[in-house]
Copies of this chain bind each other. A is one copy, B any other.
Amino acid sequence: MKPTVHDIASRAGVSLATVDRVLNRRPGVSARTREKVDQAVSELGFVRDVAAANLAKGRVYPLTFIIPSNDNSFMRGLRLALDEATERASVERIAIRIVDVPAFDAKALAEALYAAAAEAPAGIAFVAVDAPEVAAAAEHVIAAGIPLVTLVSDLSGVSHDHYAGIDNAAAGRTAASLLGRFAGCRRGKVAVLAGSMLVRDHRERCEAFAAAMSADFPELGLLPVLEGRDDPVAVEQLVSSLFSDRDDIVALYSLGAGNRGLVRALERLAAERRPVVIAHELTETTRGALQSGLIDAVLNQDAGHEVRSAIRVLKAKADGLPVVAAQERIRIDIFLKDNLP
């Protein structure tokens, strides 16, 4: 039978309360007593029943998630993942509060951070905009002793607790590998379509992609980066005019959102002119385009994993427990038409 606190108590010859103090590293125990308990713990191979502990504590962790009120599929997916987490809230003893802020608005985000901190939750997660005022607000949160993690997009120059998102440089390199190899022996230009070079994840993907392309596939020249502001309409226009301007494009890397516009533009292209296309985020749109052959591969980050990871990390930090970094790494999924989930 699995040993319990009672076994530890009698083995060490102390009371339950003392055992509890030692187990939870609370003060008010003499060194000798502590030792006796520790010894009993290791001798009996005691591991505490977290479920029972949480039940007794009755503790709930109020967590605040600040996310952009952006109407693209990925952010909708993120929200969905948060809703699911909220449903498991009672079991995991967390209470999630979602705060919306305008997308790409550093000032609004900074204010949201200050406001969230004022409520003193057990932790805050937010999708960063990489700007000084946001960094300042983040520092404020950290100074207030509130665990803080970035979600999806990271923040430079602030030592927050964690970044729950993919390695965007690796994503850029992965895109380059796939695109270069899928292009095969075709020769021509490669177009790059981003949301905005002002956000860190896009910048990192773009730079890594360009570096990998020129290293591994120098015969495929890169065209200047197009910025579609993650807006389907803008993207459609950009891509359409690009393809009517020139006829030497063999491949395209869409590293941002707004792929609905991209797909519409591609659909109007004559089949023999269709480029190799790599895009990001598995959505209704990109899934359909994969299946119809308009997009060749999709790199994806699992919003559900990111949310769950953020929650785990925030809870651990709130409890002062260590985080197994390797276990929290978010994978870059690759989807072809054949391995769609």
Q: Which A residues lie at the B interface, using CB under 8 A? A: 2, 47, 49-52, 54-55, 90-91, 170-171, 173-174, 176-178, 181-182, 184-185, 212, 296, 299, 329, 331-339, 341
Chain B residues whose CB sits within 8 angstroms of the CB of A334 once the complex forms: 333-336, 339
Q: Are A177 and B337 in contact (CB under 8 A)?
A: yes
Chain B residues whose CB sits within 8 angstroms of the CB of A335 once the complex forms: 334
Q: Are A331 and B333 in contact (CB under 8 A)?
A: yes
Residue of B nearest to A169 (CB): B338
Q: Are B55 and A52 in contact (CB under 8 A)?
A: yes
A-B contact pairs, 5 of them (CB 8 A): A52-B55, A177-B338, A299-B339, A333-B333, A334-B339
Chain B residues whose CB sits within 8 angstroms of the CB of A332 once the complex forms: 339
With beta carbons under 8 angstroms apart, the residue of B91, B171, B182, B336 that contacts A51 is B91
Closest Cβ of chain B: how far from A18's Cβ, in Å?
Answer: 23
Interface of A is mostly: helix
Residue of B nearest to A331 (CB): B341
Give the complex CA separation of A49 and B92 in angstroms. 10
Give the complex CA separation of A185 and B336 in angstroms. 20
Q: Are A90 and B184 in contact (CB under 8 A)?
A: no
Residue of B nearest to A173 (CB): B338
Which of A47, A50, A329, A332 gathers the greatest number of chain B CB atoms within 10 Å? A332
Give the complex CA separation of A47 and B91 in angstroms. 10
Give the complex CA separation of A184 and B335 in angstroms. 19
Q: Are B336 and A177 in contact (CB under 8 A)?
A: yes
